[in-house]
Structure 1
Amino acid sequence: MNLTHDDIDRDELERRKALYGPLTDAVRDLVDATIRTEVDDAVIREVHAEIAAATAKLRATQIDGAFGMRRAATGEQFAWGNAGVGLKNAIAPPLVIERDDTGRHWTDVTLGAAYEGPPGHVHGGICALVLDHLLGVTASAAARRFTGTLTLRYVRATPLGPLRGEADVVSVVGRKATVRGTLSDAAGVTVEAEGIFIAPAS
């Protein structure tokens, strides 16, 4: 894992979060609006020009390649381009993952029109993304681990809307951790997952 060091303190990190977070939310809202809009042709052309102009402004100064993983002077790591949780990534759901004292991890997330696969339901690949990230964070609570295998069982279609993901470590043997998890709606489990996550060789 390549780790870039940013020489910024906590105040500057919080300032950047406050600056970029609302921008990403606005772009995420724009994606949803683009999918669901039925305005007339003239409005589409007008908005297209406005978006192109805004994009050109953002591209005036940018990094080469992906955002990667960065570390502030405080030691805090941040991966703001991450597809699951990236603060600057409007594609990310985004996931906010919590845990309790037993090591159980969970996330509550609402997946709307941008994540549709079958009509009215979440794309299976997005379900996999949510569970891969959740299980990976669960596996990495004690030591950094990366996905070795991920097995999914789609119990039934996952409807768009509010969902909960939950995960627990089943076992740890050497560098390998086995984690199981589920994705559920209000009616119960829609996807079951089991993954093996592996710590890098020292």
Structure 2
Amino acid sequence: MSRRITPDEVQLDEAVFGPLTQSLRELIDVAIRSEAGGADALRAHELIKEATALLSARLDPKPFGVPSTGDGEYLPWGNVAMGLRNAIAPPLIIQRDDTDRFATDLVLGAAYEGPPGQVHGGMCALVLDHLLGATAHRPGAPAFTGTLTLRYVAPTPLGRLRAEAWIDREERGKTFAVGHMIDAQGVVTVQAEGVFIRPKVSA
């Protein structure tokens, strides 16, 4: 059962924790690429420990979960792909056009590197799984990944990328979605096919 979150808490998270999370994303990136001297690195370490202690003063012992505003809206702020409060999330902001195609534009930097200069294949899988799942989702009838098949057709370079997805067909509670990842030059680097299953509602 999701916990309730008040309108004041929503505003606080959006206005305060959103920018805080973005600063953590930037910190992760520069920590990987930094050529700072030892003294500066040690000083940064102390500041990070200080910030960790400050944020730990009041800490929920449970995972963040998916809180609800109480009016049917759910806030997946801890989500690994799109969470407002999750610095690991790129985050993914998904848009839907008038042809029912879904897409997300994103920037994947040093934190998501696999082979030199390229996005880790597992990260590509996460992005496409999330996007295809969002494409298959229906209000009040969520769909969960049954299978996800990927074909890596070209290296996915770090930097600006776009992922697109659409519904291929639907059969007996299953949605078949397809999509791909595209680099900044418009080259398709990963193709994806997924089967998403809607659980039966018990009487």
Q: Same fold (TM over 0.5)?
A: yes
Q: Which residue of 2 aligns with 1:190?
A: 189
Counterpart of 2:75 in structure 1 is 78
Amino acid corresponding to residue 197 of structure 2 in structure 1: I
- Cross-structure match for 2:176: 178
1:145-164 equivalences under 5 Å are 145-164=143-162
Report the counterpart of residue 200 of structure 2 in structure 1.
201
Contact kept in structure 2, 1:138 and 1:168, CA below 8 Å: yes
Distance 1:187 1:7 in 2: 41
C-alpha contact 1:5 1:73 (8 A) present in aligned 2: no
2:113 counterpart of 1:116: yes
- Separation in 2, partners of 1:58, 1:160: 31
Q: Describe how 1:40-59 pairs up with structure 2 within 5 A.
A: 40-59=37-56
**Are the aligned partners of 1:179 and 1:196 in contact in 2 as well (CA < 8 Å)?**
yes
Q: Which runs of 4+ in 1 moved over 6 A?
A: none
Q: Secondary structure at the match of 1:103?
A: coil
Q: Secondary structure at the match of 2:59?
A: coil
Gaps of 5+ in 2: none
Which one has a larger percent strand, Structure 1 or Structure 2?
1
1:91 aligned partner:
88
1:101 — aligned with what?
98
Q: Distance in 2 between matches of 1:201 and 1:33?
A: 46
Q: TM-score, normalised by structure 2?
A: 0.94
Structure 2 CA distance, aligned partners of 1:7 and 1:96?
A: 22
Instruction: Structure 1 unaligned segments of length 5 or more: list them.
Output: none
Q: Distance in 1 between matches of 2:84 and 2:186?
A: 30
Aligned 1:8-23 pairs, distance under 5 A: 8-9=6-7, 12-23=9-20
Q: Which aligned pairs between 1:61-76 and structure 2 lie closer than 5 A?
A: 61-76=58-73
The corresponding residue for 1:30 is: 27
Task: Please give the secondary structure, in 2, of the residue aligned with 1:42.
Answer: helix
> In structure 2, what residue type is equivalent to 1:167?
A
Which letter maps to 2:127? V
- The number of residues matched between the two structures is 199
Distance 2:13 2:64 in 1: 14
State the shift of 1:32 in Å.
0.5
CA contact (8 A) 2:118 2:158 kept: yes
CA RMSD of aligned residues (A): 1.3
Report the alpha carbon displacement of residue 200 of structure 1 after superposing the two structures with TM.
1.6
Task: Decide which of 127, 130, 133 is 2:127's aligned counterpart.
Answer: 130
TM (normalized to structure 1)? 0.94
Q: What amino acid is aligned across from residue 101 of structure 1 in structure 2? A: D
Deviations 1:4-47 (A, max 9, x none): 131413x5423321111100000000000100101111111111
For residues 177 and 75 of structure 1, the distance between their equivalents in structure 2, rounded to whole angstroms, comes to 24
